[in-house]
Homo-oligomer: A and B are copies of this chain.
Amino acid sequence: MLHLCENPHFRHSCLMFLVWAFQLVGLTSGFGLNSGLNQSLTYIWPLPYELTSGNETLTVNPALSLSVIGHGGNFRILREGFRRYKRIIFKFSSGISVSKNSRRIRSLYDISELRIIVKSGSDELKLGVDESYTLFVDKTEGKSVVWETIIEASTIYGALRGLETFSQLCAFDYTTKSVQISKAPWYIKDKPRFAYRGLLLDTSRHHFPVDVIKSIIESMSYAKLNVLHWHIIDTDAFPLEVPAYPKLWNGAYSKWERYTVEDASRIVRFAKTRGIHVMAEVDVPGHAESWGAGYPDLWPNTYCREPLDVTKNFTFDLISGILSEIREIFPFELFHLGGDEVNTDCWNKTPHVKQWLDENKMKPKDAYQYFVLKAQEIAISKNWTPVNWEETFNAFAKSLNPQTVVHNWLGPGVCLKAVEKGFKCIFSNQRVWYLDHLDVSWDEVYYAEPLEGISNVSKQELVIGGEVCMWGETVDTSNVQQTIWPRAAAAAERLWSTEEALSAANLTVLHRLQYFRCLLNRRGVQAAPVLNYYARQPPSGSGSCYWQ
């Protein structure tokens, strides 16, 4: 059975059979008191590195208190994180009368305190920050049975991941009307497989209000994704305020569809409290027509508006100016310079550009390289590590700054080539990880492997992770979350969990993903049914969230 489900040709039907079999076991009648849950499964998404569980069921006190130990114990991020997860865990029991006295009657509950131990006294959020944690829900030694719940982590970001896992162990029991942890004692040791686990959001094709971006970041933290790749600007619109060049946001769709400097900073601060990096992208020299709405000099000519005019100092002064200003907003060490889909026809067709090319003895492709390298230099001078879409690597790998992180998208096998040449790489093969490709099913996303074909361990380490891309042409506030979820969760588990863990849990993956999708729904995230043939389609008929 395992082998059948690993064969890509039979995978979907095999998995469909399995979900049917699970439902058959779970269902007691057409109506389903017990439907959906299989007690032998571990409903944690993504799967932890290592775990053991038992067979006791514990109750959790709605007045759960936090006790913090270690250098990292007093960070606001940690304390707010605890309060946030407490709201999530106990939202279903709010209004239940017993909770009123629960602070006094601690002995009624098995678990009344969560202890968090954080070693590091730093809250710096860098790529590769230690996100590991251990979570114990365990008995203490002694005469009477006392249960202790402890999260141990090197950093507050590891502790946040542990809180997420803890929240997933807690479930509201409708019979006793209490929050319970089943299958205790738990011993979970966890850490991510990849340091970079990203989601691209495109705010140029459609504008997303700040609150919507914050909800997306919040939902990312539920799946332990940790990089929001903010594709801020593109051909269609320039929504970001750049105070030194105030006319740039003339390129916004309207006077309301904009981000102030303060908005952008709020987004970055919010993301940090969830342990999420924000990587900004300023895509040059293509995908930049909107820049010229305020500064038409950036267009080669009025009728042919991109790539940006390669001949003018103003173009590079402006790039440098933008990067200087936004460096203050985006502390993350990676910065995306785009560099994709550059059609140089416009340069060739514009007399002054053509003349400049001739004078400098350049073909358009040389000018493309010239532009990209110059932009890289600017980014590096601002203490950023440049990321480029793979076209720059495909076109002039030898000249590319060796720090460059190659961002794959066109197809498979690119990270293999990039790491062979010593570059770092991010996997986003569009055939499987472009969320705007609605015909890609959850399992195609799930079984995509960033390290495919890379056997050398030192080369594997150059693949820093992967990213699912939510391009914005057909998503706006109305449907962005249901296009992202649940498929982004499939990638999230691929990026967090070890291949061994995934392989061992292969038969249960669909069932667990359906459960996680419903968890997202319970938390207010508009994750779509898992089994729809096209992503984000409505449910095909009445039914339980756990079947659809």
Contacts and interface: CB of A to CB of B under 8 A. Distances in A.
Interface of A: 29-37, 91-92, 94-96, 171-175, 177, 204-207, 209-212, 215, 236-238, 241, 249-258, 260, 262-263, 265-266, 290, 293, 472-479, 481-483, 518, 521-529, 536, 538-546, 548
Contacts of A474: 538-541
A478 to B, nearest CB: 4
Contacts of A542: 204-206, 236-237, 472-473
Given A174-B256, A546-B254, A482 B478 contact: yes
A18 to B, nearest CB: 18
A490 to B, nearest CB: 16
Contacts of A238: 31
Given A37-B255, A174-B260, A258-B174, A92 B210 contact: yes
Nearest to A97: B262
B255 A95 contact: no
Nearest to A215: B524
Given A260-B96, A542-B236, A545-B206, A477 B526 contact: yes
11 contacts: A30-B293, A32-B254, A33-B254, A91-B211, A173-B255, A204-B542, A206-B545, A254-B544, A476-B529, A476-B538, A477-B524
Contacts of A538: 474-476, 478-479, 483, 536
Contact of A527 (B94, B477, B524, B540): B477
Nearest to A540: B474
A511 B205 CA distance: 21
A172 to B, nearest CB: 8
Nearest 4 A/B pairs, CB to CB? A253-B544, A31-B293, A95-B262, A477-B521
Contacts of A237: 31, 542, 544
A544 B266 contact: no
Given A33-B254, A212-B524, A478-B481, 14 more contacts: A37-B255, A92-B210, A177-B260, A206-B539, A206-B543, A206-B545, A257-B546, A473-B541, A474-B539, A474-B540, A477-B524, A478-B521, A479-B538, A483-B538
Contacts of A529: 476, 478
A191 B369 CA distance: 65
Contacts of A479: 479, 482, 526, 528, 536, 538
A493 to B, nearest CB: 20
Nearest to A292: B31
Contact of A35 (B173, B254, B548): B254
A274 B215 CA distance: 23
Give the one of A174, A249, A256, A540 with max B CB within 10 A.
Answer: A256
Contacts of A522: 209, 211, 256
Contacts of A33: 250, 252, 254-255, 293
B524 A211 contact: yes
A488 to B, nearest CB: 14
Contact of A253 (B37, B482, B546): B546
A266 B94 contact: yes
Contacts of A472: 542
B477 A545 contact: yes
A95 B265 contact: yes
Contact of A31 (B34, B35, B175, B250): B250
Contacts of A207: 544-545
Contacts of A92: 210, 260, 263
Nearest to A266: B95
A514 B172 CA distance: 41
Q: Which of A206, A236, A237, A527 has the most CB of B within 10 A?
A: A206
Contacts of A210: 91-92
Nearest to A253: B544
